[in-house]
């Protein structure tokens, strides 16, 4: 039984896996990490190891303490990945993007893949059917766009994301919703169109904290899974163990 932990920019996600099956998945803030992780260990006392990755330098103290009792496997750029990395600056490629690419390769073999991670930022990652990672794009996430409109203007309010009622905003608040949400949806749709136009066999994976919010409004056929990064961490670890030597 494995505990998988993803430390993101704003939240921490954790899941327990046994025999390739995810038993539970939770998300929480950094301040709540100790209590939530202890709760998981109390609920699943057969956890034998921890697999973790972090896009920041922050590692919860609880994880470090647990490492004194059971093994901790840190997924990093030195981990064995199931793809050829053609990123021009591989040392700056986020570990979250690498793990997502690995998960796409391992779960969707023999086809082109586009992974869209809608979290703090929206990242796009392309992996060919021959398992070559080409790169992608990084854009502001939904909440970042709302925050930017509020922080860099004098009078625009800070709003909670919601679907606009129409395509033309007839008030300041509605105009913001149209600009942010419709802008993100059009961005994703156009990226998918460009990808699918050049590929005959492909999979499109949407993940991240805003998965459910966006998936309902996207017109293209996608595989939506908000826990894809956790699953990818698990499968990346399994691949690394099997191919490390």
Active-site residue set: 96
- Say what angle helices 95-107 and 228-243 make with each other, to 10 degrees: 80
Closest CA to 38 of 3, 62, 12, 54: 62
Residue 206, class by beta-carbon neighbours within 10 Å (0-12 exposed, 13-18 middle, 19+ buried)?
A: buried
**How many Å apart are CA 59 and CA 57, to the nearest integer?**
7
**How many Å apart are CA 9 and CA 29, to the nearest integer?**
10
Cα-based angle 79, 26, 202 (whole degrees, multiple of 5): 55
């Amino acid at each position: 039984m494995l505990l998988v932990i993803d430390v993101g920019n704003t939240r921490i996600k954790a899941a327990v896996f046994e025999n390739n099956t995810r038993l539970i998945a939770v998300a929480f803030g950094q301040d709540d990490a100790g209590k939530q992780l202890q709760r998981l260990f109390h609920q699943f006392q057969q956890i034998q190891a921890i697999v973790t990755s972090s896009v920041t330098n922050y590692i919860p103290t609880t994880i470090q303490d647990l490492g004194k009792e059971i093994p901790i496997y840190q997924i990093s750029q030195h981990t064995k990945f199931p793809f050829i990395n053609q990123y021009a600056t591989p040392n700056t490629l986020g570990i979250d993007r690498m793990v997502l690419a690995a998960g796409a390769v391992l779960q969707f073999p023999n086809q082109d893949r586009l992974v869209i991670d809608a979290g703090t930022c929206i990242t796009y990652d392309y992996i060919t059917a021959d398992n070559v990672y080409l790169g992608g794009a990084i854009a502001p996430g939904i909440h970042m766009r709302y925050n930017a409109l509020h922080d860099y203007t004098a009078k625009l309010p800070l709003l909670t994301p919601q679907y606009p009622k129409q395509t033309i905003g007839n008030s300041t608040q509605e105009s913001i919703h149209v600009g942010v949400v419709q802008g993100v949806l059009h961005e994703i749709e156009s990226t998918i169109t460009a990808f699918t136009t050049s590929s005959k066999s492909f999979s499109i994976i949407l993940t991240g904290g805003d998965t459910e919010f966006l998936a309902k409004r996207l017109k293209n056929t996608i595989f939506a899974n908000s826990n894809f990064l956790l699953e990818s961490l698990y499968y990346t670890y399994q691949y690394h163990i099997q191919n490390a030597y």
